[in-house]
Structures are given as C-alpha cells and as structure tokens.
Structure 1
Amino acid sequence: MTSPQGNGNLELKDRAMSYPEILHHGATHGVTGSCHQLLMDAQHSLLVDCGLFQGAETSADGRGGAGSLPVGFPLDTVKALIATHVHIDHVGRIPYLLAAGFKGPILCSEPSARLLPIVLEDAFKLGVSGDQQQVERYLKLIGQRLIALPYRHWFTLADTPALLCKVRLQRAGHILGSAYVEVDLHYRHTGQKRRILFSGDLGAPHAPLLPAPQPPYRADTLVIESTYGDRLHEDRRSRRQRLEAVIEQALADRGSVLIPAFSVGRTQELLYELEDIIHRKTRSRPAGNSGGYPLPGNASGQTGWPQLAIILDSPLASRFTQAYRELQPFWDQEAIKRVKSGRRPLGFEQLITVESHADHLRMVGHLASTARPAIVVAGSGMCTSGRIVNYLKAMLGDRRHNVLFVGYQAMGTPGHAIQKYGPRGGYVDLEGERFEIRAGIATLGGYSAHADRQGLVSFITRMREWPDEIRLVHGEADAKRALAAELRRRYEQRQKRVNIITP
C-alpha cells in the first residue's frame, strides 16, 4: 500500500503509485521534525504534524535539519494539516509551511487550539520576526486557519465522487490536548476502505493531570512513535517518591536543583507533583508560617520543604501554566478533585515566577553566588536554548548544584552531552563556550511523557483488529529495532501477518 520511504522533492504527478501512500518528511532519523504526508489520491493529501528538527537530526533526505527550516516538498495536493499536539518538534515548522504556500486549515483538539497560538507566537518571534505588527498578522492568520475538533468526533475532510475521507482525534495522554489521528478512507469507485492511524506521541499511564490513552478499535495501517521502543520505564506510580528523594539528596549538597523542562507538558506535570510533595510535607506546619521564600537579596530564610522556593523561570511556561489552569475540564479526575478540595496544583504558595530578563539574570547571579537551595524549572527541555542555558553556564562548574533530567535528550543536544558526559566529569559546549561539568547529574526515567516499549506494544495488541502494516517513526535506530522485534514476536504468537517498515 505504501512505500518504505518518501522523497518529498519528487513531483507526485510524475510518480506511478497506488493509493493511499505515506511519505515521511521528518522523524525518521530520530525523535524530532515530525511530519508525515498521507497521499489519498492524485488530488488529495494531508499532513500530520510539521515540526522542527533539533540537535543533529535531519529529514529523510538529509536536507532538512535544525539549520534548514524551509519546507522542501510539494504542497499542491495538501488539503489540511493535523497537529497531534503542540510540542515544537511537531508544530515548529508551521510558519515555514505557510510561507511555502499552504492554504488549508489546521485541525487540532480543543485544548491544542488554545495552546497552539502561544507556541507559534514564540516560534515566529524566535525564527522569523520580532516585529509586533508582523506577529499579530501572523497570529490572526493562524486563528483563521484553526479548526478545533472535539475528541471522538468524525470530521469530513474530503467528499468527492471518488473519495470520502473522515478524520477523528482521540486522547493520546502525552500532554494536554495531545491526540492520535484516525483517518478513514473510502474509495467509492472500487469500494476499497482503509483506516490509517497516526499515533503522534503516546503518553504513559499514571501521568499527572491527564487520562491515560485508550487504544482504538482497529487500524489497517499504523504510523507509531518508537521513542522508548527499546526500554521499560521505571514504575511511574512511585515517581513522586523518587522525585522527592532525588531532590532531597541534591539539596543536601546545599545547592540548587536545575530541571530543564519543556514549557508545555513537562513543566506543568512537575509543578503538579512538587505541589503534592509540599502539601504532604507541610500539612502539619505551625500556624503563622506562610511557607514563603525570600527573593534574592534577602539573607534570611530556611531551607526545608515548607520554605523551599520552586522557581519557574520561563515566561512561555508561565503562559502555558495559566492556559492549563483554564483548561481544567480536560484534566483527569484526580487533578479535578484536588482543585475542588481547595488546593492549587499549578499555583501554590512556594511557586515563584520570573518574568523579565533582568529578573532572570538577577536570579541566576543570586543562586550561583549563594548556592541557596532552590528548585529551578526552566526551558528548553534539551538545553538547546532558553533561560536554562544561563543557569547551566553559571552553575555547572559548582559541585554544590545538581541538574535533574526528566525528559528525553536527543542526540546532538547539549542536554544529551550533559547527561552522558557529566557523570564522567566531562564538559559541554554552550553557545560556543566550553564548560566543565562538576555539578551532580541525575535522570528520572520514569518521568518520560512517552509510552515505553510495553505501552507501545499494548497500544497495538489491545486493538480488536490489529494493523497489517506498522511504520515505526520518531525513534532512534536501536529503539526501532527493539520495538520491531517485539512486535514480530507478538504477531507470530497470534499467527498474524504484519509488514513492519522503518523509514
């Protein structure tokens, strides 16, 4: 049905092909740059995601990468873009897609429609222009293109004498608003029907704030992520205890804990769990103790959990956190129950938000010079840019501080280098300057927002009707190989046939 590898630079009209067919314009050599094109017939295609590449990762043809942003494939048949969720490696190339001439709608879930303009405004300012008038025109255009789809609702994308195409979004459990995409195709001339499913990024069970993803009834072709296809996560049920233990050990070093985190998703999960730790630690604190923490410049203050500052140093993450608060109806029942009990999971007393760049530099200088215990959550999640870089430059060389990774670090990113070489006493290059790593380095694998191998396999095997074709994307080579081997074993056990493709 589909080719093993798409070539986006080849004119579609010159190709002899059978439909449907899938081309991959990203996330084939790693975990970033997600962009997949479903060719339904000679006149109709759709895109699922259009994300940025990060680190050393590139497009399938090697021409698209972190330093090469323009969209390099024909758009004449593309009728719509479906955004599975709003992480930058899934939506960051949308400005370039529009600049290349894309005229269709952008479909996403209702929460994603609230979050996506925040992401795209930031991406536009960083990658295109900071001129406010241009930014406003761009956001107006995005608003005109957005179509927010309720979960579990079939939307007719194409209805012609030859083709009927309907799409549906289902909860993926990765971040708020994340979805996997079901595409139903009916070729009226031949009677052929095909259901194609794009997983986007699938979440793991027991994640804070979000209901776990439920597998679909069926799929004929499945395009599925494989980020952690070669490993199992630590027990997520006990991750709050592990987070607490790692932070207490780090604070015993009498320094700060730096947590690089994505502005949307991971940051809000961390705040949710940190609030729970503080809540449990302070339920019996004496009356009159506000639990506050002095701002830099005040030499007083204790260092126990009730007085520990949780510093959110990211204006973008602060905007997302406010949006998360407004999207409470999409939280899971546990989180909603906490709010009804009077707690503020994303806006508690010890939370300090740093907005201005001047205040950011002041906070970096204060923590670097005093090593006052604090927890700093800042972007970017892979340390490629953002305010976390200034903290790292100022504090990596001090043994009193610690860096705690709670997310995937792609090859070629500073985060990956720190994670790999930091425990060996190595170094990392940040913004063209080399820094020795003396700070403690820790990783909490159970904090991944991605499903592990068991979760990915279960997503497939819990379907009533298993797909006969599976395409593994969004993973490194070892992860794809391990996942493919496990899937083949499961299919053989059930005496089912499957074609597994690794583009």
Structure 2
Amino acid sequence: MRVLFHGAAGEVTGSLHEVEVAGQRVLLDCGMIQGSFEAERRNSEAFPFEPVGMDALVLSHAHIDHIGRVPLLVHRGFRGPIYAQEATADLMPVMLLDAASLAESDAERANRNRRHGEPKAVPLYTKHDVHAAMKLVRPLPYGRREQILPGVEICFREAGHILGSTCVELWGDDRKLVFSGDLGPKGSPILRDPAVITEADLVLMESTYGDRNHRERLATVEEIGEIFERAWDDRGNVLIPAFAVGRSQELLYWFAKFWDQWGLSRWKIFLDSPMAAKVVEVYGRHEDLFDAEAQKVWRSKPHPFRMPNLRIVESADDSMAINRMDGGAIIIAGSGMANGGRIVHHLKQNLGKRQAHVLFVGYQAEGTLGRRLVDGAKWVRIHGKDYRVGAQVHTVGGLSAHTDQKGLLGWYGQFAAKPPLVLVHGEDRAREALAGEVWERFGVDVTLARPGMHADV
C-alpha cells in the first residue's frame, strides 16, 4: 500500500490523497483550495494524475475543502464510484450546486469586465457537472465494512466534525490505513464524539489546530453572551461569518439553549444564507445522528431552527434589506472565512461603525479577509475599495469544529501499537508543534506530508 500526497499537504485546504492498493487507485477526498486569490487559482490546474485512471473516490465529509473539486474531477474524466456517508451524500448537492453557481457568476462577471484580447473566462465547473458527479455517489452508513473494489474495503466511523463527517478505515494488501478526515472536539453539541479506533498500520491525521488548545466550550459560550450584551448596549449589529454546514447550526443550537439567559428575544436574528436554509432541512432528515443532549434540545422550546425571531433569508433583495438596520440585528452569513458570500456585503456596511461587532467563531486561513480582520487590520480592501475597520472584532476559538492539540494527541493515543503517523491538513507551524508533542509523548517520528511525497506501508 502506498499513499501519495497531492493536496492539504502543508496547508489546511484542498484535501487530496491517493492510495495505491491491491492493484487499484483510490482517492481520499477531492477538495477545493481556499484562501487568497492566488491560492484559489490553483484549483483550475491539472490534477497530478489522470482522473480517468482513478478507480474510486472516498469522501470524508461535505465541507467544500474536501469535496469542492469533485465535479471538476468528473468533468475531466473520472467515472468511478464515489463513496460517502449517507448524510454527507445528502449535503453534497447543496454544497456543490452553490459552488457551481458562484463559479458561473464569477465567470460571467469577469467576461463583462474583460478587456479586448483577453481570453474568455470559464467557470471551474457547472451545475451540469455537479449533477453528473452526484450520479456516481454511493451512500454508506456508519459502521458498515464494505468492499468497494476487488481487494479493497472501507468503513466510515464518526469524526464528530460536522453532520456525516467520517474517519475512513481502508483495508488492502493485508494492511490497514486510517484517515482521520477532520476531527471534532469531544462534547461538541449536536454531534457524537469521534469514534475510538485502536488498530492501523498507517495513520493520516489532520493538524489544523496542532499548535494550540481551545478554551473550554462553555467559557466560550459565556463569552458570546457577554459580546451580545455589550453589542446591545452599543446599539450595534453583530455579524457572524459562519459556514453553512456545521457552525451555523451549532450557533442556532446555543441560541435556543441560552435564549432566556442571553435575552435573545429582543434581537432580530437572521440566518442569511440560501445554502444554510437547505442544510437545515438536511439536518432535520438525520436527527438519528445527533447526540442525546441535542435530541433533547430539539424536543424543547424554542426549537433551534424555529425560534420566533429567527428569519432564514433566501432572496438577495431580503438580504440587502438587512443592511438598512443600524442596530439590534444578529446576522449569521457565509462564508465562514469572509472571503465571499453575503457576509462580505454586510461587512462593507458595518465595518466602519464603532458600535458594530464582528464575531469570528472558526479557523481563518491565510490570505482571507477573515484572517486580516482577526490579525487586527485597520483597513481592508473589499471588491476593489478600501474600508476602515472601526467595528469591534472578536475571536472565540472554543466553538471550533476542529479538535485542538490535546484532542489530536488523545485521538492518536488510542491506537494500541502507535503506528506511523503522517500529518496533513495543517500549516507548518501547527504541524511542527504537534509533531514535537507526539515525539515527546509517544516516541513516534512523525512525517509532515508535502505535495509529491509518498508513504509506504
């Protein structure tokens, strides 16, 4: 068995790993590269392999940095089966059709503004490509060991990151590979904890927060309540960039749970995302995957997705109408790194207001608008225009959907024989810190994956 590393090998996004096993070629994930404009341009480059030569694709979960290039892979010739956990398969068309719509809109805008002699812009892929990809998807439940190719078996195990997220167990050539996917923290609301896996011959593990530990989740929740109280006193709006899958639903969960304590009845709450609205429907179809506490909250009042002052905004006109509000609004909108989507327009309207508050609740990749704001920029450029940052910017790391250094060490520590470990899905600073901790605690010499590297087992 040989693993070749093509993406998310020295960076967080663009998950793409190839496994040569039992005479077959299996891809683990096919994600979008996210971040700066220069980074995202790499999405249109040729794959470092012939798509037609791949025999199967296995997806860990539905975030766009893990599935975002699947339609492009199909467009370029891949015709094998695509295996995904059932809830992931349900989320995929929501995520990918949105990505295709954005790509088509970007190409249309570029062509309207292109100069004479410049080549015509084409979208990375289209909605037609998404529909073609979805025809290849084969949903699987958690816990079922399945032969996907001659001599190759997989099993999806709970990863606790978002709905349907998985750790992938893969067997072949008398060897076992475990790919962590993205791991969520223990005790994360709504989702069950990551599964305990004890045997592997090689482990690929994410390392997004390999250099730090999060605050306790309840301490973070208390901080959010304090920010809301301060924003109410300031008579400003609260803007929360949040991904449509995972973070938005968790925020609404906490809103419902602390409805009275945070005085949320006095606010107008907007979930400004057509995609998040569709995701809410998917969550409703998979309540059997929720943990016991979440099922209890779902049965109580107010229901997280049906709070009396929650408005799920779908039309662009209704979204623009929110910008007429100078205060008293909590606005959750994508994207989570503020590098696109409706949150950008709300930021343009609110960043200059000292009474406004911007609340970041997740990882901000290098090169994104979110990262610049978190790093304390006084001016930011949006859509070619410079905006002064007068708003108060808050970062609360305890709501991350990724586990922290302690959680990563704990997850790897469950493996009985401490198999060889390769770190993926992390910037070098985070990976180096985690590798040092693994060596000190377990005596395992860790490999940091780079594009073009391979690992044999």
TM-score, normalization by structure 2:
0.90
Matches of residues 429-444 of structure 1 in structure 2 within 5 Å?
429-444=381-396
1:223 pairs with 180, 204, 210, which one?
204
In structure 2, the partner of 1:457 is 409
* 2:352 match: secondary structure: coil
* 1:25 match: secondary structure: strand
Matches of residues 79-90 of structure 1 in structure 2 within 5 Å?
79-90=55-66
Inter-CA distance 500–72: structure 2 relative to 1 (3 Å threshold): closer
In structure 2, the partner of 1:93 is 69
How many pairs does the alignment contain?
Answer: 433
Inter-CA distance 44–405: structure 2 relative to 1 (3 Å threshold): same
Mapped to 2, the partners of 1:234 and 1:485 lie a distance apart of: 22
* 2:135 match: secondary structure: helix
**Which aligned runs of 4 or more in structure 1 are off by greater than 6 angstroms?**
none
Deviation at 1:433? 1.5
Matches of residues 83-482 of structure 1 in structure 2 within 5 Å?
83-128=59-104, 137-159=128-150, 164-186=151-173, 193-280=174-261, 305-341=264-300, 343-364=302-323, 366-367=324-325, 371-422=326-377, 426-467=378-419, 469-482=420-433
| Higher alpha-carbon deviation: 20-29 or 342-351 | 342-351
Mapped to 2, the partners of 1:104 and 1:67 lie a distance apart of: 21
* 2:156 match: secondary structure: strand
Q: Is the 8 A contact 1:44 1:77 kept in 2?
A: no
Q: Residues 387-422 of structure 1: CA distance to partner in whole angstroms, max 9, x if unpaired?
A: 000011111011010100000000000110011124
Matches of residues 488-499 of structure 1 in structure 2 within 5 Å?
488-492=439-443, 497-499=444-446
Deviation at 1:236? 1.5
Deviation at 1:58? 7.9
Give 2:364's aligned amino acid: Q
| Higher alpha-carbon deviation: 117-126 or 391-400 | 117-126
Identity across the alignment (%)? 38
Structure 1 gaps of 5+ residues are 1-19, 187-192, 282-303
1:485 and 2:436 matched: yes
TM-score, normalization by structure 1:
0.82
Inter-CA distance 375–195: structure 2 relative to 1 (3 Å threshold): same
Q: Is the 8 A contact 2:51 2:74 kept in 1?
A: no
Q: Is the 8 A contact 2:71 2:130 kept in 1?
A: no
Q: Please report the RMSD computed on the Cα atoms of aligned residues, expressed in angstroms.
A: 2.1
Give 2:148's aligned amino acid: L
Deviation at 1:185? 1.2
Q: Is the 8 A contact 2:208 2:425 kept in 1?
A: yes
Deviation at 1:28? 1.5
Deviation at 1:430? 1.2
In structure 2, the partner of 1:68 is 44
Inter-CA distance 57–386: structure 2 relative to 1 (3 Å threshold): closer
* 1:359 match: secondary structure: helix
* Larger CA Rg, structure 1 vs 2: 1
* 1:259 match: secondary structure: strand
Mapped to 1, the partners of 2:364 and 2:131 lie a distance apart of: 34
Mapped to 2, the partners of 1:309 and 1:247 lie a distance apart of: 12
Give 2:153's aligned amino acid: K
Q: Which has the higher contact order (CA 8 A, sep 6+)?
A: 2
Q: Is the 8 A contact 1:52 1:69 kept in 2?
A: no
Deviation at 1:242? 2.0
Give 1:354's aligned amino acid: V
Mapped to 2, the partners of 1:374 and 1:21 lie a distance apart of: 52
Deviation at 1:126? 2.0
